[in-house]
A and B are shown apart, each in its own frame.
Chain A
């Protein structure tokens, strides 16, 4: 593998981590969704680049799905939902931005140390992809736990899935069945979430998951 192709792959995967960080400090829903769309675009580029250097044409499909579905369809849909629900006010982050960013840095360090240590013999590209992917997964989890709003938890979950796609494409020659399944799972997951959001909207006047906590079974 020559230096340039490696560097580009590295750059794209690294940018994905960077965009994940950008998600951490967005305090408005629309901004968060726009950053997610950017995340999906970078993912699409990264997957397409992998498809090119691995000469694996089926990966272009995954890239196309990421671009069309995650970067366009879902963000537009979420914008609509937010407008319809009238919740385009600030996100109540459960934890402040400063501690969240510090936690994010800690998680990225952790995943770098862990993945680079256990994969000394693997192909260097796959190895760094895995380290980046784990960072993105952990940052996605962090977004999910620091937000209380249902829509932003969904966004956090989808960015987490982006990390999984990055890992799956980085693993050379991974069978197509998995990529399709990932794409499908996102589709299904989105439908499920959509259903839930509307149901929640039907029953409550808020999509703040915190409101749901009042109905803990044991307090009845």
Chain B
């Protein structure tokens, strides 16, 4: 049994790595799209097997615990559905000549390397390895954002690259500081970078050094999470890259960085004399929420609109985790899952919409529910969900965030609710012009599979109506760990 469960961890790393090598070698684009889907499906199955099999004891490099399983399963699931969406999206891009066959080969290989990097970041028990994995995932997305090689795509990729590099540089400095704090207690060598060792002994670390380290880590990984004022790369990267990449950026890569922040937050929480990570995170989260909510009003590009909405939601999630406590953590975790599912579904819809309409400008897209009912209604459901209306899942998680804030810090609830309402107004305003009224723009039929987006939306809907008891118990347990 133990041998098998070890295989599951190895599998979620090995399958994407092997698939990347195969995809780089295969010339036929139809086949590569299929291989990409199959590899993602296998990775998802391996991740699901982690739920039922016995977990290996944490080693020097890898770990599987209750916290990261949530992230891994979510990551591989959205990775799989996105690969399905990507197959139909990419076929269209090839027809219109925006991408060529060699581009696609590169794209698919990069997709799998990115999945490898993200999975590695989640299972790594070593803070150095985690940093390497996050950086790997980032670099691959930089390359994919720039794949169209237009002015805008290059600007977006360049900006993403520069800001991302500065972010990871700060995160590495923070990682070194954590090692410095750990070294007198744990001793020299690899052990002083192993997270499961660090967390046990964190109480004896030098609190001042650990506090400074956390500030660097929060700024560094926070750049990746897209927290204001370090978010400048995010809207451009979302708007100019291929839409499947926008979906994984919003749905997954932001979560990877968030996961890194959470790991270090736990470390800090274990050291009683260090600064509390909560207020810092809550402040950054709230700032991002309110800032992004106002920015939503002036967007003219549909992908940029939803990119700002991602900043807004990451703000809410970071705020919830910053508040801490079982209820807020539970809400943050639920919100993260719901946001990943909803936002990637929205990007799936937006990708097809941009293709049939031939534009990303909001002013040139109108009356979608009439011209393309399947896409239009998916967008309506998605936006209604992301705006936080009942009965969908995000309403529930936002409600929990707000109510736990009211219970603990009523004053903070005022800016929180204010930000939520501002964002809500902006999204519904845009939605009415996009989805209803006289149709405008191309009316070509959609050659797309609706399965990925409707399966995500169905999950979000189901979660809003009824959360199964085992899931609640599991999330409550994880929320308890997060302190």
Contact = CB atoms under 8 A, between A and B. Distances in A.
Interface of A: 114-115, 117-119, 121-122, 126, 130, 133-134, 137, 141, 144, 150, 153, 157, 160-161, 163-164, 167-168, 171-175, 177-178, 181-182, 184-185, 188-189, 192-193, 195-196, 199-200, 202-204, 209, 212-213, 215-218, 220
B63 to A, nearest CB: 16
A117 B208 contact: yes
A196 B173 contact: no
Interface in B256-301: 298-301
Contacts of A218: 298-301, 304
Interface stretch (B75-83, B183-191, B379-387): B183-191
A54 to B, nearest CB: 10
B209 A215 contact: no
B212 A212 contact: no
Given A196-B157, A196-B161, A215 B126 contact: no
Contacts of A141: 166
Interface in B159-209: 161-162, 165-166, 168-170, 172-173, 175-177, 179-180, 183-184, 188-190, 192-193, 206, 208-209
A104 to B, nearest CB: 17
Contacts of B208: 117-119
A199 B142 contact: no
Interface string B440-475: 000000000000000000000000000000000000
Interface string B142-155: 11001001111011
B158 interface: yes
Given A188-B139, A218-B304, 11 more contacts: A114-B212, A119-B209, A133-B173, A144-B166, A164-B176, A171-B176, A172-B183, A178-B176, A212-B155, A212-B158, A218-B301
Contacts of A133: 173
A167 to B, nearest CB: 5
B397 interface: no
A58 B157 CA distance: 35
B176 A174 contact: yes
A203 B162 contact: no
A11 B327 CA distance: 53
Contact of B158 (A115, A118, A182, A200): A200
Contacts of A202: 149
Interface stretch (B11-19, B27-35, B128-136): B128-136
Chain B residues touching A, range: 35 or more
B239 interface: yes
A121 B184 contact: yes
A50 to B, nearest CB: 14
A175 B172 contact: no
Contact of A196 (B146, B166, B206, B209): B146
B235 interface: yes
A122 B206 CA distance: 9
B246 interface: no
A193 B164 CA distance: 13
Where chain A touches its partner, the secondary structure class is helix
A16 B87 CA distance: 50
B153 to A, nearest CB: 9
A173 B176 contact: no
A218 B360 CA distance: 12
B157 A137 contact: no
B128 A175 contact: yes
B236 interface: yes
A192 B143 contact: yes
Contacts of B300: 218, 220
Given A114-B212, A122-B180, A215-B151, A177 B165 contact: no
Nearest to B150: A203
Nearest to B299: A218
B190 to A, nearest CB: 5
Given A119-B180, A175-B128, A217 B190 contact: no
B211 interface: yes
Contacts of A118: 206, 208-209, 211-212
Nearest to B161: A192
A126 B179 CA distance: 12
A8 to B, nearest CB: 21
A189 to B, nearest CB: 7
A157 B165 contact: yes
A199 B169 CA distance: 25
Given A164-B172, A215-B152, A217-B239, A174 B179 contact: yes
A200 B188 CA distance: 45
A175 B190 contact: yes
7 contacts: A118-B211, A119-B208, A174-B179, A178-B128, A196-B146, A218-B298, A218-B301
Contacts of B165: 157, 189
A144 B166 CA distance: 10
B162 A199 contact: no
